[in-house]
Amino acid sequence: MHRLKRLAVIGAIVAAALPALPAHAAVTPVQANGQLKVCGLRLCNAQGKQIQLRGMSSHGIQWYSQCLNTASLDALAGDWQADVLRISMYIQEDGYETNPRLFTDRVHNLIEQATARGMYAIVDWHMLTPGDPMYNLSRAKTFFTEIAQRHNGKNNVLYEIANEPNGVSWPTVKSYAEQLIPVVRQHDPDAPILVGTRAWSSLGVSDGASETEVVNNPVNAANIMYTFHFYAASHGTSYLNALSRAADKLPMFVTEFGTQTSSGDGGNDFTRSQQYIDLMAQKKISWVNWNYSDDERSGAVFTQGTCPGGPFAGTSRLKPAGVWIRDRIRTPDDF
């Protein structure tokens, strides 16, 4: 046999004996997709292909930054094969307002960490209490100006400008978005911006309303998506159906969900969760699960005491919700 042909045969035999590597091992999500954009009702990659991102949200970085270290982020990108990390920076609750410099720098660092691993990064302005985003408008302008100035050369950053507006009307949330979006766009014209919806980002469902208030009065801006949050043990058919209807009329992104109750604790409803997962796959709705920490609640994926030492890869330190969500993040992407 010719020497080159013999080497080729040997190479083929060796390759056949090796386990197939996941797509993420060779090409990272950002390498595969590049700069994302909203095209019609979907999130699309640089080639115009509709895609779905799947990943994890941090817990509040004022409490659980020790769960976001080199080993844990390596595991999230490599073992979990996550496409996206949501960086959850609370504004109140001992967060940003207590030390803007510290928390802005912490977000800068985590964006760099996600970037180094080829993941997308959602910068989550985690306003929760008070629920009126206008309360933090000037803080948000300061923060997002610096973030957009620093990272506008990257193609992997998404801006979530209001986590869970509550106790206010949709026109108030819309007005906030229309004041803040130009601040981001001035420095980063291309990144998708994620807009929170009324009643804890439930499209108003938690206040007895529906997605029609957004459909009939959308934010006046391009390249934006609207967020929806659900906790499967609390949020049943009415929430699921609202998300399904909304996704046929609005660009939707589920930036937070859990398999348990809306407290992030309690028993897991994996049956209902799977219904949401199936819907989001069908309609190419990107999603991020809450949360990548070792908090005592059932929604934190790691058992208490896992952080900072780990191990973070595999399932030995995962709670039931962690095992379940890791498996679904690891399902091969369609890109």
Given 164, 178, 211, 213, the catalytic residue: 164
> Which of 182, 179, 257, 252 lies closest to 211 in space, CA to CA?
252
Bridge partners for 313 per DSSP: none
Among this protein's residues, is 178 annotated catalytic?
no
Q: State how beta strands 157-160 and 84-90 pair.
A: unpaired
In Å, how far from its chain's centre is CA 49?
19
Cα–Cα distance measured from residue 166 to residue 329, given in angstroms and rounded to the nearest whole number: 29
Cis before 19? omega within 30: no
Among this protein's residues, is 97 annotated catalytic?
no
> Which of 146, 143, 87 lies closest to 119 in space, CA to CA?
87
Dihedral over Cα of 252, 257, 261, 263: its sign: negative
Q: Which residues contact 70 (CB under 8 A, 6 or more apart)?
A: none
Task: Decide if 253 contacts 285 (C-beta within 8 A).
Answer: yes
Cα→Cα distances 154→191, 194, 312, Å:
9, 17, 27
Long-range contacts of 146-154 (CB under 8 A, 24+ apart): 146/104, 147/104, 147/107, 147/108, 147/111, 147/123, 148/183, 148/184, 148/186, 148/187, 148/188, 148/191, 149/187, 150/108, 151/108, 151/111, 151/188, 152/187, 152/188, 152/191, 154/111, 154/115
Cα–Cα distance measured from residue 170 to residue 166, given in angstroms and rounded to the nearest whole number: 9
Given 112, 211, 256, 296, the catalytic residue: 256
**What are the catalytic residues?**
164, 256
